[in-house]
């Protein structure tokens, strides 16, 4: 009986155990049912779209942020200011070579301007732009008494050198608020006359030993090596070294200045819309003629009359006019010395874009027949006639007075091949009458050559 009861008890426990396990697995079976898996499959097409949309938005945001950070708007406001200054320097004859350099690290380059004619008063100029205005930082007589300018690119340091009467100075300066601010100066004084030899060294105003002087200057120069010299054309990169006793400089050419045409073209490329597009800036011939007239007034360009050359002062002034002789819509510049009185002889200039060139002389231009006439009389009477064709002025022939054996009269006419033909008195008189009538009809009325009139006529 006990065995039977024990068997029944064990059977009951086994049944309970099996029932308990069945209850525990039912929730798991519900989670992993195909219904749940099918719902997941149905949602798959929509779920990726929900995931991709925020990712695309983030990328677009990042790209937009990068564009703002990587493409900051640059400041080109310096360009119109430099353009005007270049024209002033060029037309006044103060400078004819130009260069944009980066002394410091801002968006505004500095402008260097050099006179290629060599050492003269203020022939090297250095400009910057500060607070909307152009500022002259420094001007020196480069090449005279050791004067010159060097700079360390992008490091905001400028070295001004000079050497005169035994005094040698290297001044280091930096640009601060549109001005050159002193940083440090090294001055050596060496006067050796064999009697009272003098050798002194100063850092700023403090006297130091020669050794300390060299070591401190080298310590300063080495921080900014190499320096670029802009005192001459071409530009020179100077790499300095110091062996404990002497300084040494290794130089190499690294580039050249720009011509006035090249620098103006460079500046016009970056002028903001609406600036620098005036008629004066687009017509380079006006700039060329302003330079020509200023050169005449400064005695750099000569005037002509009766085979002689005169300066502006020698001729007691001059007259000038504009007349489109060649028909290319760009007028020629005509200049006559006042010394010639009523019968003026005009020197003809044309623009070459960056400069000007002499095309000869004339008395008047017959615009109807496209001929230029010149009274070239000196000790003998002589007239020349020129054809104007294809933008060129070319000799057609001449009339004049000669002394040739066998001629019945002293008058002749001549072609371009130097074929002289003796003509009658009546024929010569007829030519004179025609010349005087043309002078009366086409004679040029010039205005006084003055600074005021140059600006009035040419801007």
- pTM given for the model: 0.72
Look at the chain and report how many structural domains it folds into: 3
Task: Give the DSSP H or E segment for 137.
Answer: strand 133-140
Query: Does 3 reside within a domain?
Result: no
| DSSP track, 61-114 | HHHHHHHHHHSPPP--THHHHHHHHHHHHHHTTS--EEEEE-SSSSS--EEEEE
pLDDT (tens digit per residue) in 44-102: 444 444 445 455 555 555 555 555 556 667 788 999 999 999 999 999 999 999 999 99
Same domain, 258 and 288: no
CA distance 78 to 73: 14
Query: Does 21 reside within a domain?
Result: no
With 0-12 / 13-18 / 19 or more C-beta atoms within 10 angstroms meaning exposed / middle / buried, residue 177 is exposed
The answer to whether 280 and 459 are in contact (CB under 8 A) is: yes
CA distance 195 to 187: 22
Same domain, 348 and 366: yes
Same domain, 64 and 187: no
pLDDT (tens digit per residue) in 226-269: 999 999 999 999 999 999 988 899 999 999 999 999 999 999 99
Query: Does 439 reside within a domain?
Result: yes
Query: Does 96 reside within a domain?
Result: yes
Same domain, 262 and 285: no
Query: Does 397 reside within a domain?
Result: yes
The whole-chain average pLDDT of the chain stands at 84
Domain that holds residue 400: 279-458
Same domain, 159 and 264: yes
Residue 376: closest CA among 342, 339, 349, 401: 401
Would you tell me how many other CB atoms lie within 10 Å of the CB of residue 14? 10
Same domain, 128 and 257: yes
Same domain, 306 and 387: yes
| DSSP track, 138-161 | EEE-TTSTT-EEEEETTTTEEEEE
pLDDT (tens digit per residue) in 144-169: 877 899 999 999 999 999 988 788 99
Query: Does 448 reside within a domain?
Result: yes
Query: Does 430 reside within a domain?
Result: yes
């Amino acid at each position: 009986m006990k065995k039977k009861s024990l068997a029944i008890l064990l059977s009951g426990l086994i049944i309970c155990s099996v029932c308990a396990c069945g209850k525990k697995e039912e929730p798991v079976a519900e989670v992993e049912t195909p219904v749940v898996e099918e719902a997941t499959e149905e949602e798959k097409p929509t779920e990726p779209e929900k995931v991709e949309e925020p990712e695309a938005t983030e990328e677009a945001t990042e790209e937009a942020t990068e564009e703002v950070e990587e493409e900051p708007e640059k400041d080109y406001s310096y360009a119109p200011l430099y353009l005007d200054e270049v024209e002033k320097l060029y037309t006044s004859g103060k400078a004819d070579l130009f260069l944009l350099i980066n002394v410091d690290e801002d968006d505004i380059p500095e402008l260097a301007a050099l006179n290629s004619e060599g050492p003269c008063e203020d022939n090297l100029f250095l400009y910057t732009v500060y607070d909307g205005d152009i500022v002259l930082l420094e001007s020196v007589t480069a090449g005279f008494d050791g004067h010159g300018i060097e700079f360390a690119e992008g490091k905001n340091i400028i070295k001004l050198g000079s050497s005169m009467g035994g005094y040698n100075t290297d001044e280091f300066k930096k640009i601060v608020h549109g001005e050159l601010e002193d940083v440090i100066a090294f001055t050596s004084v060496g006067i050796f006359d064999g009697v009272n030899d003098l050798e002194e060294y100063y850092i700023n105003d403090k006297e130091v030993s020669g050794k300390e002087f060299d070591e401190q200057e080298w310590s300063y120069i080495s921080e900014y090596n190499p320096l670029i010299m802009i005192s001459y054309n071409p530009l020179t990169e100077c790499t300095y070294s110091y062996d404990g006793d002497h300084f040494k400089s290794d130089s190499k050419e690294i580039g050249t200045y720009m011509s006035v045409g090249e620098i103006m073209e460079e500046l016009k490329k970056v002028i903001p819309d609406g600036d620098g597009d005036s008629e004066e800036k687009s017509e380079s011939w006006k700039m060329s003629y302003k330079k020509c007239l200023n050169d005449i007034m400064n005695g750099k360009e000569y005037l002509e009359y009766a085979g002689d050359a005169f300066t502006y002062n020698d001729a007691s002034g001059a007259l000038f006019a504009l007349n489109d002789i060649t028909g290319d819509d760009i007028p020629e510049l005509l200049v006559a010395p006042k010394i010639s009185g009523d019968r003026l002889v005009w020197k003809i200039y044309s623009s070459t874009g960056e400069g000007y060139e002499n095309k000869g002389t004339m008395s008047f231009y017959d615009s109807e027949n496209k001929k230029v006439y010149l009274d070239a009389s000196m000790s003998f009477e002589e007239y020349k006639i020129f054809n104007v064709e294809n933008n060129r002025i070319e000799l057609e022939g001449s009339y004049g007075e000669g002394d040739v054996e066998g001629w019945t009269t002293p008058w002749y006419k001549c072609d371009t091949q130097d074929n002289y033909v003796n003509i009658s008195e009546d024929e010569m008189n007829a030519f004179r009458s025609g010349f005087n009538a043309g002078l009366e009809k086409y004679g040029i009325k010039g205005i006084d050559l003055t600074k005021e009139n140059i600006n009035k006529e040419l801007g």
